């Protein structure tokens, strides 16, 4: 488990640096928001484009991909039903809460984890693709739709489509998908600028996460709100259990079953906080979910590895 602990240590170190910068006020009062916008508009789209463009799309037809998609969809729908349908949270907060429960840290923790447990990072590909091509676009479409419903708007439908197609994450994902489907490959030199800029996405997101943690808590605010309990429970307990059950049902075993269950035990991705900062909603829940589920990921992954490894 050295590789996993090393990955967690790197994440903690960069987030701590962000926290220190925030407490010192070295980057100004809105530094986390500025970094989040850089990640959302520039760095993350560049990373997604390169990642998807170099992906073998045949992996989408595997049983592993089916289990990943089904288990993630159930978790997302459950979170949305409770947050919006039962607790009547505002649309924006419900969407960010749903992403906090279902959008996991596949790139920064999933890759070293897959390499350590299975000797190959390919196990993380179905999760990355489902999040980037399905989960995030649906979430962004709902967020854009909620912003398009303003008095006097000539056409809500047209406004939603326009805002969605201008979303850099969605544009990058669709472009990467198109490039991956081409019968020929572009020269690697074409991808180098995107690869270089995309490399900044993870450290900038972690710095912004640390900066957000440095903000003083509002008096009376409790860390363990029922929203956070729901999100953390779905993320760290329900999702891996569901992935294991579905994987067993479709006949996965050995390394394949270990892979889908382990990926499902990963914590909330820091990108969710970037989305919350960008859209100005669900910031506290996304931040707390990222912290709590990262702490819970260590025992969760150890249990999965011990049971199935």
Q: What is the model's pLDDT at position 91? A: 94
Q: Which domain holds residue 208?
A: 2-22+31-214+221-308
Backbone angles phi, psi at 282, to 5 degrees: 65, 20
Q: Over 70: is that where the pLDDT of 279 sits? A: yes
Q: What is the model's pLDDT at position 33? A: 85
Alpha-helical regions (H) of the chain: 2-24, 31-38, 44-53, 63-80, 91-102, 111-118, 125-130, 136-148, 156-165, 168-181, 188-198, 201-213, 226-233, 239-249, 254-264, 271-279, 283-308
Mean pLDDT (the chain, rounded): 86
Number of domains in the chain: 1
Q: What is the model's pLDDT at position 297? A: 87
Find, among 22, 6, 13, the residue nearest to 212 by Cα.
22
CA-derived radius of gyration, the chain:
19
**Least confident among 102-106, 166-170, 252-256:** 166-170
CA triplet 65, 294, 138: central angle to 5 degrees? 45
Whose tokens are 């991956």? That residue is 180
Give 104's strand partners. Answer: 268
**pTM metric for this prediction:** 0.81
Percent residues over pLDDT 70 in the chain:
87
CB-based burial of residue 91 (10 Å sphere; 0-12 exposed, 13-18 middle, 19+ buried)? middle
Interval 41-96: pLDDT, tens? 898 889 888 888 888 888 788 899 999 999 999 999 999 999 999 999 999 999 99
Q: What is the model's pLDDT at position 235? A: 96
Find, among 92, 95, 89, the residue nearest to 149 by Cα.
92
Interval 256-265: pLDDT, tens? 899 899 999 9
Enter the tokens of residue 17: 């640096």
Contact 164, 170 (CB under 8 A): yes
Q: What is the model's pLDDT at position 57? A: 82
Q: In whole angstroms, give the CA distance from residue 47 to residue 42.
A: 9
Domain harbouring 209, CATH code = 1.20.1530.20
Q: For residue 150, name the pLDDT band (cuts at 50, 70, 90).
A: low
Q: What is the model's pLDDT at position 95? A: 96
């Amino acid at each position: 488990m050295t590789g996993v602990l090393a990955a967690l240590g790197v994440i903690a170190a960069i987030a701590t640096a962000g926290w220190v910068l925030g407490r010192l006020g070295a980057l100004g009062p809105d530094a986390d928001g500025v970094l989040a916008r850089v990640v959302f508009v520039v760095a993350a789209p560049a990373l997604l484009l390169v990642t998807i463009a170099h992906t073998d799309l045949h992996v989408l037809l595997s049983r592993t991909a089916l289990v990943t998609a089904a288990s993630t969809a159930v978790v997302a729908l459950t979170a949305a039903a409770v947050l919006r349908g039962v607790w009547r949270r505002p649309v924006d907060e419900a969407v960010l809460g749903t992403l906090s429960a279902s959008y996991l840290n596949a790139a920064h923790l999933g890759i070293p984890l897959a390499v350590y447990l299975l000797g190959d990072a390919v196990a993380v590909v179905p999760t990355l693709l489902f999040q980037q091509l399905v989960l995030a676009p649906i979430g962004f479409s709902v967020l854009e739709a909620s912003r398009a419903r303003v008095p006097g708007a000539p056409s809500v439908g047209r406004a939603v489509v326009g805002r969605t197609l201008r979303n850099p994450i969605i544009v990058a994902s669709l472009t990467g998908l198109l490039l991956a489907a081409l019968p020929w490959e572009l020269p690697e030199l074409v991808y180098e600028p995107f690869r270089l800029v995309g490399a900044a996405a993870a450290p900038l997101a972690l710095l912004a996460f640390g900066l957000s943690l440095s903000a003083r808590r509002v008096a009376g605010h409790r860390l363990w709100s029922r929203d956070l309990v729901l999100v953390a429970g779905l993320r760290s307990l329900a999702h891996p259990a569901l992935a294991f059950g579905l994987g067993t049902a479709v006949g996965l075993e050995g390394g394949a079953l270990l892979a889908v269950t382990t990926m499902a035990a990963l914590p909330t991705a820091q990108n969710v906080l970037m989305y919350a900062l960008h859209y100005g909603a669900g910031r506290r829940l996304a931040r707390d979910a990222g912290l709590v589920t990262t702490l819970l990921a260590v025992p969760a992954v150890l249990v999965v590895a011990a049971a199935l490894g």
